[in-house]
Amino acid sequence: MSITPVPDAAVIVVAAGSGLRLGAGAPKAFVGVDAHTVLWHSLIPILGMRRAAQLVLVVPPGLEGEARTEAMDAAATVAAAEGADGATDAADRFELVRIVAGGATRQDSVAAGLRAVWPQVRTVLVHDAARSLTPSEVFDRVIEEVERTGAAVIPGLPVVDTVKRVDAAGAVGDTVDRDELLAVQTPQGFRRDVLDAAYAGASAQYTDDAALVAAAGYPVRALDGHAHAFKITTPADLQRARTLLGERAAQHAPSPQPVRSAQGEHAPALAAALTMRVGIGSDVHAYAAAGSTRTLWLAGLPWPGERALEGHSDGDVVTHAIVDALLSAADLGDIGGLFGTDDPAVEGAHAEVFLTRTRRVLADAGWAIGNVSVQVQARAPRFSPRRLEAQAALSALLGAPVTVAATTTDGLGFTGRGEGIAATATALIVRA
């Protein structure tokens, strides 16, 4: 695909929010859904629209570089999926992308995006990155409807619940006729001159762009939204997105074929058809000798002041067990095969190096990480005060939930005697 003529439509994707309600410890757009982020998923349908559009990506200040990597990867993925001339096609698509820093409110972020829209653009769509799974066809329909009617166009779904008015004291008033209600989504589409004028004159904050445009006196029309255009706001929404992607992956899974694996060619064909696999991994490191200057690294965190573990790498048994569990689930060997004990990259390396490379190797093999669960056996350090911090750090690196529990072993065995620390991990992976 070559992008000529220059597109006369643009999609502004606002992704500059902090995701407080999701509470994932990172800006929402950069939280992992599977092997990919909320942002990456939001770009795929836009890059796959029937008609090429400029794509203005509005991200938290300072994360422009990360956004660029996500956009390039998404462009390459869409190009590869459409089976066109790989590299050139991905580069052509990436040519359409502009990345700008967002503002303190969503409205400020849209305004920043609007300033980056190319002069020849006539129709502008504004879309929440958090509605990542919105299908391409919704974008195409919104653009066509704006062009056909000249009005602002917003997708929405009927309200299915009974809706009542309630006052501040909790007293319930009348029931609102739900036939008159619409649960509004994005992308919302506008004539470019209308959106420019409405934003130029905006004197208040509105909850969506259509409200701002309506307040400026322009007509707004509704069209059918899509159930998959829901907004990822809370952890439950993120889980819904994961489930949906899992179902999509299962539908597109390859039909059973002989397995080419370390288990030989005769492994049952059923294994090839599996859309989920589990793996287990474990690791043990001895405590460093008294007086060692090493720092303890455990579960992706440094533990200054605690007795360190011995090892060529950082000795982080939790991370190493996770790598083995993931590699074993994907039938990709083990940590020694991936990193090698004398690999200079591993000397002093921490979870970031191990987990990022493992995640990449799995993604290359077509696997996304479902979740990982780890148990640590250690007399020291006391793990529970930093459990949530460790889980957040490991989950961010893998883009999937990691849970870590710790146990002492009642004084029994080498962990009980305080000779070292052991960890066991299980992992679930799903076809990406």
Positions in the binding site for ligand CTP (CB under 6 A): 14-22, 28-29, 58, 102-106, 109, 128-130, 231, 233
- 49-69 per-residue burial string, b: 16 or more CB within 10 A, e: under 16: beebbbbbbbbbeebeebbee
Q: Which is nearer to ligand CTP, 28 or 192 (CB)?
A: 28
Q: Which is nearer to ligand CTP, 55 or 338 (CB)?
A: 55
Say if CB 351 and CB 393 are below 8 A apart.
yes
Q: Which is nearer to ligand CTP, 16 or 259 (CB)?
A: 16
Q: Which is nearer to ligand CTP, 38 or 369 (CB)?
A: 38
Q: Which is nearer to ligand CTP, 241 or 296 (CB)?
A: 241
Q: By C-alpha distance, which of 225, 35, 9 is closest to 131?
A: 225
Residue 142 contact, options ligand CTP, Mg ion, none, Cβ 5-8 Å cut-off depending on partner type? none
**Least distance (Å) between residue 17 CB and Mg ion:** 5
Q: How far is Cα 156 from Cα 265, in angstroms, rounded to an integer?
A: 51
Q: How far is Cα 394 from Cα 117, in angstroms, rounded to an integer?
A: 38
**Least distance (Å) between residue 41 CB and ligand CTP:** 12
**Least distance (Å) between residue 300 CB and ligand CTP:** 24
**Residue of this chain nearest to ligand CTP (CB atom):** 17
- Residue 154: how many other CB atoms lie within 10 Å: 27
Q: How far is Cα 39 from Cα 362, in angstroms, rounded to an integer?
A: 20
Residue 109 contact, options Mg ion, ligand CTP, none, Cβ 5-8 Å cut-off depending on partner type? ligand CTP
Q: By C-alpha distance, which of 59, 207, 52 is closest to 121?
A: 52
Hey, is 418 helix, strand or coil? coil
Residue 14 contact, options Mg ion, ligand CTP, none, Cβ 5-8 Å cut-off depending on partner type? ligand CTP
Residue 208 contact, options ligand CTP, Mg ion, none, Cβ 5-8 Å cut-off depending on partner type? none
Q: Which is nearer to Mg ion, 232 or 393 (CB)?
A: 232
Residue ranges in 2-21 that form contacts with Mg ion under rule CB under 5 A: 17
**Least distance (Å) between residue 212 CB and ligand CTP:** 14
Say if CB 399 and CB 356 are below 8 A apart.
no
Q: How far is Cα 68 from Cα 393, in angstroms, rounded to an integer?
A: 23
Containing 137, the helix (H) or strand (E) segment is helix 136-149
Residue 15 contact, options Mg ion, ligand CTP, none, Cβ 5-8 Å cut-off depending on partner type? ligand CTP
Say if CB 277 and CB 332 are below 8 A apart.
no
The single-letter code of the amino acid at 130 is: A
Count, residues near Mg ion per rule CB under 5 A: 1
Q: Tokens 């000779």 appear where?
A: 419
Residue 102 contact, options Mg ion, ligand CTP, none, Cβ 5-8 Å cut-off depending on partner type? ligand CTP
Q: Which is nearer to ligand CTP, 28 or 431 (CB)?
A: 28
Hey, is 59 helix, strand or coil? strand
**Least distance (Å) between residue 128 CB and ligand CTP:** 4
Q: Which two tokens stand for residue 402?
A: 């990691």
Distances (CA, A) of 17 to 22, 330, 363: 11, 34, 27
**Least distance (Å) between residue 19 CB and Mg ion:** 8
Q: How far is Cα 334 from Cα 301, in angstroms, rounded to an integer?
A: 23
**Least distance (Å) between residue 39 CB and ligand CTP:** 9
Say if CB 131 and CB 42 are below 8 A apart.
yes
Q: Which is nearer to ligand CTP, 207 or 341 (CB)?
A: 207
**Least distance (Å) between residue 367 CB and Mg ion:** 32
**Least distance (Å) between residue 209 CB and ligand CTP:** 11
End-to-end CA distance of the chain: 25
Residue ranges in 15-74 that form contacts with Mg ion under rule CB under 5 A: 17
Count of alpha carbons within 13 angstroms of residue 151, beta-carbon side? 13
Q: Which is nearer to ligand CTP, 57 or 338 (CB)?
A: 57
Binding site for Mg ion (CB under 5 A): 17
